[in-house]
Amino acid sequence: MKQIYFAGGCFWGTEHYMGTFEGATETVVGYANGELADPTYQQVYTDRTGHVECVKVTYDEGIISLATLCRLFFRSINPLSINRQGNDCGTRYRTGIYWTDETDRAVVEMVYEEVQQAYGEALAVEKGPLKSFYPAEEYHQDYLVKNPEGYCHLSLDTLRMARDYSGIVRGLRAASNVEKKAVLQRFFKTGKGEYGEGDMFLGVVVPETRKVAKAFKAVSYEVIEALLESEWHECRLCALLILIEKYKKAPEEAVQFYLSHLKGINNWDLVDLSAPYILGDFLDGHPDHSVLYDLAHSPVMWEQRIAVVSTLMLIRHGHFTDTIELAGMFLDTRHDLMQKAVGWMLREVGKRDKPLLVSFLNAHKAALPRTTLRYAIERFDAEERKGFMAK
């Protein structure tokens, strides 16, 4: 178990919020980084001790990472507010993240920088090693558990987000399988230097992930956003499956959200199970498809794959132009996953318009990657395949 310390305004609400998350095994409220030893609440309340109301969070890093805890913490505060959170004012309510393990510094600073870039200005959140921590009086511990109607500076939406997020993670973990976890990590190439390097799996099969997504399809966009930041692959997939449900009711809003959260769509199944059903379906009803070409020109391979695979829905509605144009753009791609994606989409075109596919293959036979070609002609008869592969 590891510990990290969060100051997020009144420690009653911060403890309740941080303790909600799966993997946070224990929370203790107290007073941190002040000048007075073993202070009382009354002394800290004067704002003359230098102490800040703080929560010690003990967590299992096999369930939740420090980066995720920090990102979730930032969702509970206004990081630009100085000595104030909600209606609570004073230096004791300043915000901060404090560590006791120096190896945690890099992670905290990484997340801090992410948030600072998102806001575009300096954050009013302290970060640094913990200097001192004194547990608060017993009546402060688990205050909102003991007093469900007690004061909390956090909004009901924030607390609901934490509850829903935790419910999804809990549901996925309940469906996890240790053996499947090992298989998935190999299957999705998570080793050093491989395309899925560092991706982490709970070991949940897609049908089980769909069940969880269906049960939580009404959650807020903030929950989806938080899940897309998770280290766990299945959490990100679940987020996308929920987003597909959102798309059915509010297409434009869901598409805009999708395009502004591409960072979390970083493995081939995440792309393939979402792009056609969100972006592709949306573009089928709109004349401007320039976003596909913007994505195709991205230096990020996953965004390139989103551009190509999104055309699956266009193909299904008899529109082949974008697929053919994008296939031409990726003739020189060296990434195996892009070669397969292009070949797959060309094969789908060929199911509906074989002469168009044959024309494309003949026009580009000298430049076409062999992997792309094999995928494209998979449904041809043996003699046709042999003829094309010999070219």
CA distances from 13 to 65, 77, 82, 86 (A): 21, 11, 18, 11
DSSP one-letter string for 213-264: HHHTTT--HHHHHHHHT-SBHHHHHHHHHHHHHHHHH-HHHHHHHHHT-GGG
**Rounded distance between C-alpha atoms, residue 194 and residue 9, angstroms:** 42
CA 320 and chain centroid, separation: 32
DSSP sequence for 73-142: HHTTS-TT-SSEETTEESGGG-EEEEESSGGGHHHHHHHHHHHHHHHTS---EEEEE---EEEPPGGGTT
**Does residue 10 have an active-site annotation?**
yes
Residue 29 DSSP code: E
Are the C-beta atoms of 307 and 295 separated by less than 8 Å? yes
> From the CA atom positions of the chain, what is the Rg in Å?
25
Q: For residues 70 and 24, is the Cβ–Cβ distance under 8 A?
A: no
The residues facing 125 across adjacent strands are: 95
Query: What span, in angstroms and rounded, lies between the C-alpha atoms of 152 and 249?
Result: 33
How far is 151 from 10, CA to CA, in rounded Å?
Answer: 9
- What is the spatial order of strands in the sheet that 24-32 belongs to? 125-129, 95-99, 2-8, 52-59, 24-32, 133-135
> Is 21 in contact with 120 (CB distance < 8 Å)?
no
Do the Cβ atoms of 223 and 72 come closer than 8 Å?
no
**Identity of the amino acid at 283:** L
> Which active-site residues does the annotation give?
10
